[in-house]
Structure 1
Amino acid sequence: MIVALQKYTSKIIEEQKKLRLANYKALQAQINPHFLYNTLDTIAWDIRLNDNKRALSILMAFTQFFRTSLRKGEDMVTLGQEFEHVTSYLQIQEHRYGEIMEYRTKYNPELKDNMLPKMILQPLVENSIYHGIKKKDELGYVIIYTKCYNEYYEIVVYDNGGGMSKTRLQQINESLIKRSPLKTESSGYGVYNIDERIKILFGFDYGLTFYSEENRYTKVVVRLPYSTQEEGIAKSDKVTGCR
């Protein structure tokens, strides 16, 4: 009976693992490259205006962005690769919104080989631009950087845009804690998606937390474990950090 119970328990655990992986794949598939049209339109207008140098520059950034997005079908990337990807995205957006935005990205080089889900930063930066910077009447900026702690590290996405109300801020953070997406979330690939992918991979101690003041700033903190991995999506015992 004990042996049978152990086998049954192992079967349930394995089925739960497969379900988590299936959920992860489904969430990742919700990525919405809706800025594709706008980017191609920008390139087309540069060509019409005979600004071939600018068109080539944005096209190269666009190519790099999709090269990273489609990297061998991988679900996980290194932090260094993720920063390359989001930097390409920011270069593209700077061509479109250069008059109203600037950006800076910096990460601790000791973190570059840590593994994380692919394309978690780009949607956060997209929110910073469309829901933050574009609401300002003056130059805005997006800053992405890392912070190290004993048992985990953080990636911070900061913008000095329009911010959000206390009510909205509370709604977002509560939805992440309860793992229940907001009904008002219009994006097919929203913050809930990113947070859920991280929790599926690493556990409930990790994910997103929002900080904001209306008309001042919004800061998204992404908490992640120190981890390297060679196979699958299970966290390795080996850690790489700046502790």
Structure 2
Amino acid sequence: MRKRLPVSTWVFDSVENRLFALLNIKLIQHSVQELQTALVSNHKDLAIDFTANTQKQRHLLEEGFHAGQRPDSLFQPITVHSDWISAQPEEHQDFESFYRDPSRKTPNASHNTIYIQTICSFGGAGVQKDQCVEWLREYCQAFFYGLSVKLLPAVTVAETKCSFRVNSDSHNLQILTGDLLQFLWSRKPADAFCIVGITMIDLYPKDSWNFVFGQASLSNGMGVFSFSRYDDSFYSSSYAGSVTTPPNC
């Protein structure tokens, strides 16, 4: 029996956020004056147009740099009540405090490869699904410059030996993220900085949750993410009745 990992996990709403959080990103800061100058541009016509504005017009343009800082500000913060932070209040963390967190792991000479593990079929026909995964690999390779990004051989849901269920609302198959993280841990190569599982099957972190886009253990350098709810056909597919065996896809 494989030993369960005593890991703390974070829930993410996009694959970019998960990978971004796992990696060492250089913090670049600019003053308001530098940003204003950059927006004005060095283009002669734009510079003339900006300097030709009246004081009131300039004040209006500069309001964008102080959004929400005053009660009478023209640009107030927009609250989307369906956002995660509105439904699940959590302590705020700015990027600098995250960046300087001593527990955050960074790549090194012996752990400098991102591994992508495809779970179940991904995309449509064979050629198309292979191309989609390769596009994702190339994107990660370009975005996380300096790190190598490799694809692991695809696996079926049955091979992961994870728990699964049919969602009572969407009637779609779902697989348990905790079990998938255990599976990824067992397959994580020695030179991996992190391993990320991707799937077109919906996910859930525990029985009381409806669904989750993804989950990750930053301390162990692994995560899993589902693209299923970005599929236009998500709500038109259905698993009738109960599922007793995982799909061998």
| TM-score normalised according to structure 2 size | 0.24
Q: Which has the higher helix share?
A: 1
Q: Which has the larger radius of gyration?
A: 2
| Greater RCO (CA < 8 Å, at least 6 residues apart) | 2
